[in-house]
């Protein structure tokens, strides 16, 4: 199993550009989530999904959209990038929402200039 994969690994955007961060898992997990991590800080939850067709907001959802059309994929869209969105983005998946082990991807390092 590949586990949780994320693409791209690195990305540089100009202010106002849009892009999609890809996340996929091959463990048939129902729960998937996106986090951002700013330098020297812990991870903060952006959006999550408890199954295909169901998404909800986390702690810091503004400026991001998500959708979940399949169990495997959970893309994160930045509609109009801002310098404040410069961060490392992690995708995670787990069996369900609750006290289950979460598996994290390797991250995408995004810089917005």
Partner 1 sequence: DAKTTQPNSMESNEEEPVHLPCNHSTISGTDYIHWYRQLPSQGPEYVIHGLTSNVNNRMASLAIAEDRKSSTLILHRATLRDAAVYYCIPYNNNDMRFGAGTRLTVKP
Only one of the segments 14-22, 34-42, 65-73, 75-83 lies at the binding site for partner 1 (rule: CB under 8 A); that segment is: 34-42
Q: Does 52 bind partner 1 (CB under 8 A)?
A: no
Only one of the segments 10-18, 20-28, 67-75, 96-104 lies at the binding site for partner 1 (rule: CB under 8 A); that segment is: 96-104
Residue among 1, 2, 14, 41 that touches partner 1 (CB under 8 A): 41
Residue among 87, 107, 110, 112 that touches partner 1 (CB under 8 A): 107
| Beta-bridge mates of residue 36 | 44, 89
The answer for residues whose C-beta is within 8 angstroms of residue 26's C-beta and 6 or more apart is 1, 2, 3, 72
Q: Does 95 bind partner 1 (CB under 8 A)?
A: no
CA angle in degrees (0–180, nearest 5) for 10-105-64: 65
Residue 47 C-beta-side C-alpha neighbours within 13 Å: 20
Find where tokens 């959209």 sit. Answer: 65
- Residue ranges binding partner 1 (CB under 8 A): 4, 33, 35, 40-45, 48, 58-59, 90, 92, 97-99, 101-107
């Amino acid at each position: 199993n590949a586990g949780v994969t994320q693409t791209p690994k690195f990305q540089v955007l100009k202010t106002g550009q849009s892009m999609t961060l890809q996340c996929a898992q091959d463990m048939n997990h129902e729960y998937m989530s996106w986090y951002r991590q700013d330098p020297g800080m812990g991870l903060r939850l952006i959006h999550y999904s408890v199954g295909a067709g169901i998404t909800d907001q986390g702690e810091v959802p503004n400026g991001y959209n998500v959708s979940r059309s399949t169990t495997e994929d959970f893309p994160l869209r930045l509609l109009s990038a801002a310098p404040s969105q410069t961060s490392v983005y992690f995708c995670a998946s787990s069996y369900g929402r609750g006290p289950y082990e979460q598996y994290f991807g390797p991250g995408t390092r995004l810089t917005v200039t």
